[in-house]
Structure 1
Amino acid sequence: MIPLWSGSANTWDCDEMGHMNVRVYVEKAMEGLGSFAAAIAMPHAYREKAPSTLMVAEHHVRFIREVHPGRPLSMHGCVLEWDETSALLYQDMRHSDGTPSAAFRTRLFHVDAKTGKPFPWSTRSKAQLEALKGTAPDDTKPRGLDPSVAPLPSSSTTLETVAKVGALEIGRGTVPPQHCDIFGRMLASWFMGRISDSVPNLLYDWRKAVTAKTEDAKMGAAVLEYRLIYRKWPRAGDRFVIHSALADVAEKTHTLSHWVMDPDTGEAWMTSEAVAVTFDLNTRKVIPTPPEQMAALETIAPRGLQL
């Protein structure tokens, strides 16, 4: 495990729930990739006119303990596995007492910076990848989402599939220049950010009804786990629509599939699944979902979209 990032949560990193927003977790994980790139002999990876870079293909994120404003944080990581053109990187973010806040399993590719096409690691990078191989600790293992399950092929992740399922549109917009990286591609953190901004259009009234069943509770929500498959990278001016469907619902958790789609081509920019809870902002504890609200969620978010 090597150090990748350290800092703290600013007030503006936190949302209406009083904790660091999910978008910011990914933002800091992506920043940590700069340190990782340097450690594998690629200090140029995120600079302008870089010949090659590291492109993320998939994130699995487990959110373990809330982060509140002003709290110190640090991130370390190691390589879990690698091959000729890709690597699986483990990253964890911890509080100053060593308690884990979040853990990331990041599948990334060594690519041509302009075209995004994978090509083999250099000899120096291979040596460093092997030297950085390690094992993820037990206290941050995936729980509700299995990162080893293969995602759907791109031929199935289309707006035609969305229409057949009847998945509700919860978000829509256009990518602004400030949400893009040095290579002109939308930052990975903004996929998470756009979904986070859009989910209230699906669940606000439903969560309000769930919270009403608990006396003196104040409505809140949190994501416990996320898996994101990055399929295409939008650029400034590209449009997107977000559709959501139910994957599972239980007394304490609900799992949703969120697809970020290109309305011009009908193809997916990104597909994801998220395990979430409704919780009481006063007690910071999970609010159980009554049976009638489980049934209501089946109606609000029809099943049918997969990862």
Structure 2
Amino acid sequence: MNVRVYVEKQVEGLAAFAPSLGMPHAFRANSPSTIIPVDQHIRFVREVLPGRPLTMNGCVLEAGEDDALIYQELRHGDGSLAACMRTRVLHVDTTMRKPFPWSSRTRQAIPDVTDTAPEESAPRSIDMSAPGLPHSEITLDRVKQVGAPLAGRGAVPPQHLDVHGHMYPYWMLGRTSDSVPNILYNWRKKVAESAGDLRMGAAVLEYRLRYHDMPVAGDLYELYTSFGGAQGKTHNLIHWMMNPANGKPWATMQATAITLDLDARKAIPAPPDMIRGLSEMAAPGLEI
């Protein structure tokens, strides 16, 4: 299942969870307020295959005056964990997208849906306590200084918008996922060849996504990819989805990824010279 689809299910699950927060209106077109993501962790644990049963559950982990940390998980039919998501959300008005305090109804509902996440769902390779770069430091000028390559660009189509007229978060991830092969396909192919000419694919194990602004129809975007280091069989990539009209970010992302043996369904380790090649192709220097 493509990474985009996991976030699509997460968004749908959040809409289904909203009535439990006293916000049955949150994802309707005429709603005065809604819930938007600002910081998200996703961990992909066990592969999801077409036609297999999946169940989503969720809870509130913590809540502030106008924000909350929501936990959601997908489990297979046998109860094993498929994927888990921790999403920091803001309560905002739908006109100006400005945060404002939860209603008394929501504040009363939150304790009833607050719980803890299972230990097996904890982040592994990504530190969610790291504050991330200040918004003012995420600029196209920084991209040029680093020399990070352009992985993709495009325009936001109307069919990718939510009921409030902004791009769905999962399409921001989907457009990024679609663009990465423009930088990495040939590199992954060489890694597979060095391991015995294996059938090659790619898989992301973990993601962190920071949503800085949500595009509307017709807005342009540019995607830049930077090498974020390697450890064992994994490598880290930093993606910046930028607004070329003003040089500011739509989203920034950190991915822990592997090159995958499609037959054995196992990670293919990249030799040191291949890692050096990756750092030359996707210049390091961008940060989440």
TM-score tier after normalising by the smaller chain length = over 0.9
Counterpart selection for 1:73 from 25, 29, 54: 54
Deviation of 1:166 after TM superposition, in Å, equals 0.2
1:22 & 1:35 partners in 2: Cα distance?
Answer: 20
Corresponding position of 1:93: 74
SS of the residue 2:107 aligns to: helix
Deviation of 1:133 after TM superposition, in Å, equals 1.3
| TM-score (ref. length: structure 2) | 0.99
Deviations 1:141-186, CA, capped at 9 Å, x for gaps = 1001011110111110000000000000001000000000001000
Corresponding position of 2:175: 194
Corresponding position of 2:250: 269
1:211 & 1:217 partners in 2: Cα distance?
Answer: 5
**What amino acid does structure 2 have at the position aligned with 1:214?**
A
Deviation of 1:251 after TM superposition, in Å, equals 3.5
SS of the residue 1:60 aligns to: strand
Corresponding position of 1:13: none
1:250 & 1:289 partners in 2: Cα distance?
Answer: 10
Task: Determine whether 1:105 maps to 2:105.
Answer: no
**What amino acid does structure 2 have at the position aligned with 1:281?**
L
Corresponding position of 2:162: 181
1:51 & 1:288 partners in 2: Cα distance?
Answer: 50
Deviation of 1:216 after TM superposition, in Å, equals 5.0
| TM-score (ref. length: structure 1) | 0.93
**What amino acid does structure 1 have at the position aligned with 2:165?**
G
Counterpart selection for 1:61 from 12, 20, 42: 42
2:268 & 2:282 partners in 1: Cα distance?
Answer: 20
Matches within 5 A, 1:1-307: 20-307=1-288
CA contact 1:247–1:303 (8 Å) conserved in 2: yes
In structure 1, stretches of 5+ residues that fail to align are: 1-19
- Number of corresponding residues: 288
Deviation of 1:97 after TM superposition, in Å, equals 0.6
**What amino acid does structure 2 have at the position aligned with 1:201?**
N
CA contact 1:62–1:224 (8 Å) conserved in 2: yes
1:29 & 1:194 partners in 2: Cα distance?
Answer: 17
Deviations 1:88-122, CA, capped at 9 Å, x for gaps = 00111110111111100000011101111111111
**What amino acid does structure 2 have at the position aligned with 1:90?**
Y
**What amino acid does structure 1 have at the position aligned with 2:256?**
V
2:55 & 2:261 partners in 1: Cα distance?
Answer: 28
2:46 & 2:8 partners in 1: Cα distance?
Answer: 17
In structure 2, stretches of 5+ residues that fail to align are: none
SS of the residue 2:194 aligns to: coil
SS of the residue 1:210 aligns to: helix
1:103 & 1:251 partners in 2: Cα distance?
Answer: 23
Q: CA RMSD in A?
A: 0.8
Structure 1 stretches of at least 4 aligned residues deviating more than 3 Å after TM superposition: none
Deviation of 1:131 after TM superposition, in Å, equals 1.7
1:301 & 1:250 partners in 2: Cα distance?
Answer: 17
2:37 & 2:260 partners in 1: Cα distance?
Answer: 31
Deviation of 1:281 after TM superposition, in Å, equals 0.4
Identity across matched positions, percent = 51
